Structure 1
Amino acid sequence: MWEGLSCLMRLAMNEGMLRGVKASKSGPQVLHLLFADDCILFSEAASRGANVLKEILRKYRRCSGQCINFEKSTIFFSKNTFEIERRVVVNTLGVRSSNDPEHYLGLPNMRIDHQSTRHLSQGGKEVFIKSILQAIPTYTIACFLLPMALCVEIENIIAKFWWQKGHENGVYTGVRGETYENGGLGFRNISQFNIAMLAKQGWRLITYPNSLLAIVLKAKYYPHSDFFNAQLGNLPSLT
Structure 2
Amino acid sequence: MVEAFSNMISKAVADGIFKGFRTPNRGPVVSHLLYADDAMLLREWSETNLVKDTARVIGCKSGMMPFLHLGISVGANVNKVNNWNRIVDVFEKRLAVWKAHSLSIGGRVVLIKSVLESLPVYYFSLFKVPDKVVENLEI
Q: TM-score, normalised by structure 1?
A: 0.36
What is the alpha-carbon distance in structure 1 between the residues aligned to residue 64 and residue 23 of structure 2?
A: 21
The 1:152–1:7 alpha-carbon spacing in structure 2 relative to 1, beyond 3 Å, is: closer
Contact 1:17 1:52 in 2 (8 A): no
The residue type equivalent to 2:22 in the other structure is: K
Contact 2:20 2:30 in 1 (8 A): yes
1:151-230 to 2 correspondences below 5 Å: 151-156=134-139
The residue type equivalent to 1:131 in the other structure is: S
The 1:99–1:31 alpha-carbon spacing in structure 2 relative to 1, beyond 3 Å, is: closer
Give the structure 1 partner of residue 17 of structure 2.
17
Any idea what the Cα deviations from partners look like across 1:113-132, whole Å, max 9, x if unmatched? 53554222334312320133
**What SS does structure 2 have at the residue aligned with 1:112?**
helix
Larger radius of gyration: 1
Any idea what the Cα deviations from partners look like across 1:155-176, whole Å, max 9, x if unmatched? 22xxxxxxxxxxxxxxxxxxxx
Match for residue 71 of structure 2 among 106, 110, 114: 106
Asked which structure has the greater RCO (Cα within 8 Å, sep 6+), the reply is 1
- The structure richer in strand per residue is 2
The 1:36–1:130 alpha-carbon spacing in structure 2 relative to 1, beyond 3 Å, is: farther
Q: TM-score, normalised by structure 2?
A: 0.55
What is the alpha-carbon distance in structure 2 between the residues aligned to residue 35 and residue 151 of structure 1?
A: 28
What is the alpha-carbon distance in structure 2 between the residues aligned to residue 37 and residue 131 of structure 1?
A: 29
Any idea what the Cα deviations from partners look like across 1:172-191, whole Å, max 9, x if unmatched? xxxxxxxxxxxxxxxxxxxx
Any idea what the Cα deviations from partners look like across 1:26-46, whole Å, max 9, x if unmatched? 887432244566554211446
**What SS does structure 2 have at the residue aligned with 1:93?**
coil
Give the structure 1 partner of residue 30 of structure 2.
30
Any idea what the Cα deviations from partners look like across 1:46-91, whole Å, max 9, x if unmatched? 6754455665xx5xxxxxxxxxxxxxxxxxxxxxxxxxxxxxxxxx
The 1:115–1:151 alpha-carbon spacing in structure 2 relative to 1, beyond 3 Å, is: closer
Contact 2:18 2:43 in 1 (8 A): yes
**Stretches of structure 1 lacking an aligned partner (at least 5 in a row):** 59-91, 157-239
The 1:28–1:130 alpha-carbon spacing in structure 2 relative to 1, beyond 3 Å, is: closer
Deviation at 1:141, TM superposition (A): 2.9
The residue type equivalent to 1:3 in the other structure is: E
1:135-146 to 2 correspondences below 5 Å: 135-142=118-125, 143-144=127-128, 146=130
Give the structure 2 partner of residue 4 of structure 1.
4
**Stretches of structure 2 lacking an aligned partner (at least 5 in a row):** 73-86
What is the alpha-carbon distance in structure 2 between the residues aligned to residue 53 and residue 11 of structure 1?
A: 20
Could you list the structure 1 runs, at least 4 aligned residues long, displaced by more than 6 angstroms after superposition: none
